[in-house]
Every structure is written in C-alpha cells, then in structure tokens.
Amino acid sequence: MLAELRWIAFVWQVMLESTLRTIALSTKGFMPEAEGDALYDAASRACAALPGLPIVEVGSYCGRSTVWLGAVARDHGVVLHAVDHHGGSEENQSGWEWHDPEVVNAHGRIDTLPYFRRTMQVAGLTGVVRECVGDSHAIGKDWKQKVSFCFIDGGHGRDVARGDYEAWSPHVEVGGLLAVHDVFERPEDGGQAPHDEIYQPALRSGKFVEVSNCGSLRVLRRVVV
C-alpha cells in the first residue's frame, strides 16, 4: 500500500485543464506537449512556494507556451509578463529553418503580436497576461520586481541567450525557479546556446540547482541570493 502511494506521488503532475490544453496545442509554436505540461507543473510549484510574486516568460511567439503559464498565473492570482519583441528570432527569419510565412505582415516583417493577442483572447487569459513588447535584455535590465518563476525561451544566438541569462536570472527569488528551453547536451540534438550560455552558467554560479527536466526543458531552483 505504502509503495503504491509513493508511486502515485512520484508520477503525479499538476495538469492544465483540457480546454486550454487543446488551445495551447492548436497554437503555432515550438513547445512540445509533454514539455508544456512539465512547464505548467513547475510554474505551479513556484507560485505555491512564493505566493503573490509574478511570473515571466521570455519568448512568447504566438502564445503557445504562454497558455500553460497564463493558466498558472490565473490560478494563483498573479500576473504573467510575456516578453517578446514579436519580430521573431534569427531562426524564424525568411530562409531559415523555422520560418513560417504566415506570420509575415503586410510590410514583409515577422509580426507574431496579432497571433499572440488572438491566442490570449481565445484562451480567456488577457486579464492575467501582460504583453511586454520589446527587447528582452532592455526590459530585463530595467526590471524591479522579484519573480517566482522565469521561463527563458527567447533567441537562440549565443549573445542573445547570454544576455537573457544576465538580464533575467537575478530577478528569480530564492526558492523560485528558472526554466530554460531548448537545452541540448549534444550538438547533434540542437543548438548549444541555451545549454552553454544559460543552463551551465546558472549551475556554475552556485545559485541554482537542477530540480527537474523533460525533453529539452530544464528547471533550476534558486538556492542562494
């Protein structure tokens, strides 16, 4: 009996309600299903540990991962700040691997903001998700508030990733979580910038320890100021 209970506790994961999950999964973007669920679970734990503190997402694109995180914010009565200049990362530009011509506007530029807004409206999350449209480094440098949870999924160039780590990791409160997407140990699995410029420096700093992972998602807890 005790063994069974332990097993149930081990596999238990807080899950997003099915309507919103369906909306998330039908939204353009790059967040795999299982990793979105793991993100939701981690953010829920951070909000429970540090009540009242906001959440930040760096890199929202069309709002796919934002649905999982916005629901957490709603359930915990906090705000999710969704940071993105909405001009797309390098790899989203025309001629690159992750280009989607549908998100190019009448002026020939990538603009995911209308898609993002639409996703938040359909998901009923406009009241808790605050658009922060601009450069993530500039916004992070001016940031004043501690956050319970920071999800970094912005640009994957080395300088951009390093800048996101430097601008945002200081704002994670002790006991809060820093989640990093697209962390690949081996170059053959994907670009190394999130691994080399965010994940490794966070661990090396001694301020963060790894608490969970799912696919390319790594979740780190801040343990010291």
Using the rule CB under 5 A, is 131 a contact of Mg ion?
no
What is the per-residue DSSP string for 85-154? -SS--GGGSTTSTT--GGGB-TTSSB--HHHHHHHHHHHT-TTTEEEEES-HHHHHHH--S-EEEEEE--
Residue 110 per-residue DSSP state: B
- Cα–Cα distance measured from residue 17 to residue 123, given in angstroms and rounded to the nearest whole number: 11
* Residue 116 C-beta-side C-alpha neighbours within 13 Å: 25
176's contact among ligand SAH, Mg ion, none, with CB below 5 to 8 A by partner kind, is none
155's contact among Mg ion, ligand SAH, none, with CB below 5 to 8 A by partner kind, is ligand SAH
Strand partners, 177: 149, 221
Number of residues that bind ligand SAH (CB under 6 A): 22
For Mg ion, which residue of 137, 181, 221, 222 counts as binding (CB under 5 A)?
181
70's contact among Mg ion, ligand SAH, none, with CB below 5 to 8 A by partner kind, is none
Using the rule CB under 5 A, is 30 a contact of Mg ion?
yes
For ligand SAH, which residue of 44, 65, 119, 216 counts as binding (CB under 6 A)?
65
Look-up: residue for tokens 């995180």?
69
Which residue out of 137, 156, 171, 195 is catalytically annotated?
Answer: 156
Phi, psi values for residue 218, rounded to 5°: -120, 135
Look-up: residue for tokens 């700093």?
205
Using the rule CB under 5 A, is 137 a contact of Mg ion?
no
60's contact among Mg ion, ligand SAH, none, with CB below 5 to 8 A by partner kind, is ligand SAH
Site for ligand SAH in 78-137 (CB under 6 A): 84-89, 112, 135-137
What is the per-residue DSSP string for 31-45? --HHHHHHHHHHHHH
156 is catalytic: yes
Q: What is the smallest separation between the CB atom of 142 and ligand SAH, expressed in angstroms?
A: 13
For ligand SAH, which residue of 153, 173, 182, 197 counts as binding (CB under 6 A)?
153
Please list the active-site residues.
156
User: Which residues contact ligand SAH by CB under 6 A?
Assistant: 29-31, 59-61, 64-65, 84-89, 112, 135-137, 153-155, 160
User: Which residues contact Mg ion by CB under 5 A?
Assistant: 30, 153, 181-182
